[in-house]
Structure 1
Amino acid sequence: MTRLSVNINKIATLRNARGGNNPDVVKTALDCERFGAEGITVHPRPDERHIRYADVMALKDKVTTEFNIEGYPDARYMKIIREVKPGQATLVPDAPDAITSNAGWDTLKHAALLKDIIAEIKSHGVRVSVFVDPQPRMVEGAARLGAHRVELYTEPYAHEYKVNRDIAIKPYVESARVAKEAGLGLNAGHDLDLENLRFLAQSIPSLDEVSIGHALICDALYYGLENTIQLYLKALK
């Protein structure tokens, strides 16, 4: 059964736009859990334009489901992982000024960097997921480096889904097969929504987790947060 982790970055973006603490990031995270979410995801960027370091610290003792912290593994990120020891650390190759994640790691080119980072994070008892494009060799590379999971970058799937969903899903099914054979867990994320999520989950039974933020929060404006989370859970199950 695929688990739903709600990325609450957009809640922090809305709060930061006005100042103060409305909406309350911690309360929203707890409400997401209460409404059925099986994990909370944050991506604290260096400029703190959405999730802030203080938010992560405030969440670490409040989140009772899986706490997933995404980020580029610089010194700042590694400090957060050491202090929080979340359920999962998802490594992404974003530049500091990136608007959002737009590509996966080249696990061959960056093998030396990732191997040391993965080993350090594992030493803290934290599961490591590596964000990769749906390419079998990148999945295999992550396995060789000692990762527990890979997260497949699904923007290409979401884009192609509108044209031909059967073609769109093919590289993901193949990458999922390779991940399973390599003993890796499998996550997915980016541009997943109520239109394309069900087909992804049905096509990849081995999918452990999806992380969804932007589309889910946008849908919540119309359907309400509780109802939206239930709609996403229904799409997965």
Structure 2
Amino acid sequence: MAKLAINVDHVATVRQARGITEPDPVTAAGICELAGAAGIVIHLREDRRHIQDRDVYLLRETIKTKMNLEMGANDEIIKIALEVQPDLVTLVPEKREELTTEGGLDVDAQLTRIASVVEQMGKDNIPVSLFVDPEPRQLKAAAKAGAAFVELHTGRYCDALSEDEQAKEFAMIAEAAEEAVSLGLRVNAGHGLNYQNTAPIAALATIEELSIGHAIIARSVFTGLDQAVREMLAIVMRAESSL
């Protein structure tokens, strides 16, 4: 069954909007774990627009499940990752002007640099996942770079404007997951998943973990964070039982 990891970045987004101390993503992570989350995801961006260094170090001390640190291949952030020792590092593309991550990492075009980061992390026994579009070229490059995981970018599937378009994007994700496994990669998935579109992705036997943040944090405004996590976890578990 696919596991559910919760991204708490947008709790920090609300905090940073006022430049104060609440709401605290560290507290949010604890609530998510108590509600059944199998892991916590945070993205320490170069511009520190939401998660701060303080959050990373405190979360490393308090997370009881698994810490997935999303990051760009930036020397300053690499140094922090090596100090903090997360359970998983996920390399993502990062542009200062974007509102959120807009697409997968072009591993093929940056193979030497990414392979170097993977090697650095590997020396400290930190596995690396690469956030990629569901494309064969990127999967092959990820395997060549030495990554342990890929996280398939589900954004195009989630943003599809018609059922036919969504079905096409879903098929690409399913095929990419199969190919990734055949290349010796483990597979996660995420970006844009919500309470309406998660079930089909969760039902794919090749996918080990889903990373979901914005939809859950948005729903928590109305239901509370504990309930929002439990409702998404129920969707993931029902998807498995329906196979």
Q: Indicate the TM-score class for this superposition, using the shorter chain for normalisation.
A: over 0.9
Q: What is the Cα deviation at residue 86 of structure 1?
A: 0.3
Secondary structure, in 3 states, of the residue corresponding to 1:46? coil
Give the unaligned 5+ runs of structure 2: 238-243
After superposing on structure 2, the runs of 4+ consecutive aligned residues of structure 1 that deviate more than 4 Å are none
2:78 and 2:162 map into 1 onto residues whose CA distance is 38
Q: Is the 8 A contact 1:161 1:196 kept in 2?
A: no
Counterpart amino acid of residue 197 in structure 2: N
Q: Which residue does the alignment assign to 1:173?
A: 174
Q: Which residue does the alignment assign to 2:236?
A: 236
Q: What is the Cα deviation at residue 17 of structure 1?
A: 1.7
The one-character-per-residue Cα deviations of 1:4-31 (angstroms, maximum 9, x if unpaired) are 1111111011112223321122111111
Q: What is the Cα deviation at residue 173 of structure 1?
A: 0.9
- Report the TM-score, using the length of structure 1 for normalisation: 0.95
Q: Which residue does the alignment assign to 2:60?
A: 60
Equivalences for residues 210-221 of structure 1 within 5 A: 210-221=210-221
Q: Which residue does the alignment assign to 1:95?
A: 95
Q: Which residue does the alignment assign to 1:9?
A: 9
Q: What is the Cα deviation at residue 161 of structure 1?
A: 6.8
Q: Is the 8 A contact 1:8 1:42 kept in 2?
A: yes
The one-character-per-residue Cα deviations of 1:181-229 (angstroms, maximum 9, x if unpaired) are 0111101111000100001122x21111111111111111122211111
The one-character-per-residue Cα deviations of 1:102-142 (angstroms, maximum 9, x if unpaired) are 11122221111111111111111111000100102211110
Could you tell which deviates more after superposition, 154-163 or 49-58?
154-163
1:95 and 1:58 map into 2 onto residues whose CA distance is 26
**Identical-pair percentage:** 35
Q: Which residue does the alignment assign to 2:19?
A: 19
Q: Is the 8 A contact 2:46 2:74 kept in 1?
A: no
2:163 and 2:91 map into 1 onto residues whose CA distance is 30
2:72 and 2:138 map into 1 onto residues whose CA distance is 17
Secondary structure, in 3 states, of the residue corresponding to 2:113? helix
Q: Is the 8 A contact 1:136 1:174 kept in 2?
A: no
Q: Which residue does the alignment assign to 2:148?
A: 148
Q: Is the 8 A contact 1:194 1:232 kept in 2?
A: yes
1:14 and 1:64 map into 2 onto residues whose CA distance is 24
1:168 and 1:115 map into 2 onto residues whose CA distance is 28
The one-character-per-residue Cα deviations of 1:9-59 (angstroms, maximum 9, x if unpaired) are 110111122233211221111111111111111111122221001111111
State the superposition RMSD in angstroms. 1.3
Give the unaligned 5+ runs of structure 1: none
- Report the TM-score, using the length of structure 2 for normalisation: 0.93
Secondary structure, in 3 states, of the residue corresponding to 1:110? helix
Q: Is the 8 A contact 1:160 1:167 kept in 2?
A: no
Q: Is structure 2 residue 31 aligned with structure 1 residue 31?
A: yes
